[in-house]
Amino acid sequence: MKSARPYVPMPGQRAPQQPAFPQDRKRQLFVWWREIDRTLLFLVLGLMVIGTIAVYAASPASAGRLSTSDVTLGEHYFFWLHLRWQVLGLGVLLVTSLLPMDSARRGAILLGGLMLALLVLVPFVGVERNGAVRWLNLGMTFQPSEFLKPAYAVMLGWILSWKLRDPGLPVIGITGGLVGLIVLLLMMQPNLGEAILFVGCWFVVVLLAGLPIKRIAIFSGVGVAALALTYALYDNGRNRIDAFLGGGTAFDQVDLARRTLLGGGWTGTGLGLGNQKMRLPEAHTDYIFSVIGEEFGLIVCMVLALVYIAIVLRVLVRLIEEDRLFIILSATGLIALFGGQAFINILMNLQMFPSKGMTLPLVSYGGSSTIAQCFTIGLLLAITRRNPFLSREAFDFSAALDKEMGRETRR
C-alpha cells in the first residue's frame, strides 16, 4: 500500500494547526507522586499534626498572657489561627513540590532577590516588637528573613555549582560576600539567632563544596572574632549569653522553661492539664517544646527530636545517589537551615543554648514562619524529585576535592 502523502499547502494558504489538547493533570499528579520523596512528605505531615496538637495545648497560656482589659482573647485563639496557617502552608508545600527543578530554582532565586531588598528596608520602616525591628507590614505583617532562608540555600547551591563550568570563578568569595551582607542587615534589626543560622548554613554548604583546609581555619578564626565583637557590642546578646553561662535567675524565662519542661515527668500531665505553662512567656512559639514536655512527657519530647533527626537523615540519604552538584548543595543547605533551627530551639528549651527568638519548625505557632518552612520543604521535594526507574551515578566528591586541592597546591 502506498503511504499517505503529507499535506502540502498551496501558495497563499496556511497549514491547519493541530488542536491543542489540555495537559493531563491526572498524569502530572501520578508522575509527581512517583517521583517525590514520599517518606519525607509523610514525616513532615506527621510533624505538622504534632504541631497542631501542641499549639492547642499552649494556646490558653499565651491567650491569657496577651489578653488585656480592653481585649480578651479566647483560650484557643492561637489554635484556630494556627490551623489556618497550617492549611495555607500545606497548600504552599504541595504547589511548590509540583514545580520542575529548573522552575523551582528560578523562583527561589527571584524570591531571594526580593527578600534581600526588603531586608534592607526593615531597619528603617519595619515594625518593632519586643525591642527588635524584624517585621514589615505590607498589608500583612511578615518577617523577610524567614522567606529569605530557603531562597538563600538555593542561591548558595546555584552559585557554588558554577565552579563545575569555570573552576577559576571565586564562588566561595561571592557566597561569603552574600552571607556577610545578610548578617550585617540582620544585626541592624538586631537578630543574632538568624545571623548564626545563615552563617552556619553557608559554612556547611561550602565545606561540602570542597572548601580548602587553610580557608576553613581562616573562616573559623573570623567567626570567633565576630562572636567576640558581637558579645562586646550587642547588649541583649551579651545578657542572654551571661544568663546562659550563669544559669539564669529564678523564674526568668529560661528557668520557667526548664520548670515547664520537667513539670510533667516522663509521661506528662495530660492534654490541657499543665499548670507551669501558664506562667511561661511565648508558650505557643519559642517555648512550645517545654509545653510538650509538661503535657505529653519527656518521652514524647524524645520522639519529636527523633522525627527531626529522621527528616534530616532522610534528605541526606536521598542525596547519596544524586549526580548533580547544584541539587546536592541546595538540598543540603535547605535541610541545614531546617534542622539547625529545630535543634537550636530544642537546645534552648533544654538550657543548652542561649535564649533566642527562634521557633520550632512546623510545630510552633507562626504565620510567616509556617509558610516559609512549608516553602522550604516544598523546595526540598521539588529539587530532589527523580524517576525511580532511572539509575544515577553519584557525584564523586573525593575526586572533585582532590582536583581542587591540586589547584590550590600549584598556586
The per-residue pLDDT for 20 is 45
How many C-alpha atoms does 101 have within 13 Å on its Cβ side? Answer: 15
Write the pLDDT tens digit of every residue in 349-369. Answer: 887 777 777 889 999 988 888
* Other Cβ atoms closer than 10 A to 314: 18
The per-residue pLDDT for 214 is 67
At 105, give phi and psi (nearest 5°).
-65, -50
The per-residue pLDDT for 71 is 76
Angle ∠(175,360,95) on CA atoms, nearest 5? 70
Q: What is the DSSP annotation of 75-143?
A: TTHHHHHHHHHHHHHHHHHHHHHTS-HHHHHHHHHHHHHHHHHHHHHHHHHPEEETTEEEEEESSSEE-
Instruction: Name the DSSP letter for residue 279.
Output: G
The per-residue pLDDT for 5 is 57
What Rg do the C-alpha atoms of the chain give, in angstroms? 25
The per-residue pLDDT for 17 is 54
Low-confidence residues of the chain: pLDDT under 70: 1-24, 69, 130, 211-217, 219-224, 226-252, 387-411
Nearest to 334, CA basis, from 303, 271, 379, 364: 379
Write the pLDDT tens digit of every residue in 247-303. Answer: 555 446 777 888 888 888 888 888 888 888 888 888 888 889 999 998 999 999 999
Q: Are 286 and 364 in contact (CB under 8 A)?
A: yes
The per-residue pLDDT for 73 is 80
Nearest to 292, CA basis, from 53, 31, 34, 118: 53
Please name the residues in contact with 214: beta carbons below 8 A apart, sequence gap of 6 or more: 408
* Other Cβ atoms closer than 10 A to 199: 21
The per-residue pLDDT for 173 is 85
Q: Is 248 left (phi over 0), alpha (psi -120 to 50) or beta?
A: left
Distance separating alpha carbons of residues 73 and 384, to the nearest angstrom: 42
Distance separating alpha carbons of residues 289 and 363, to the nearest angstrom: 9
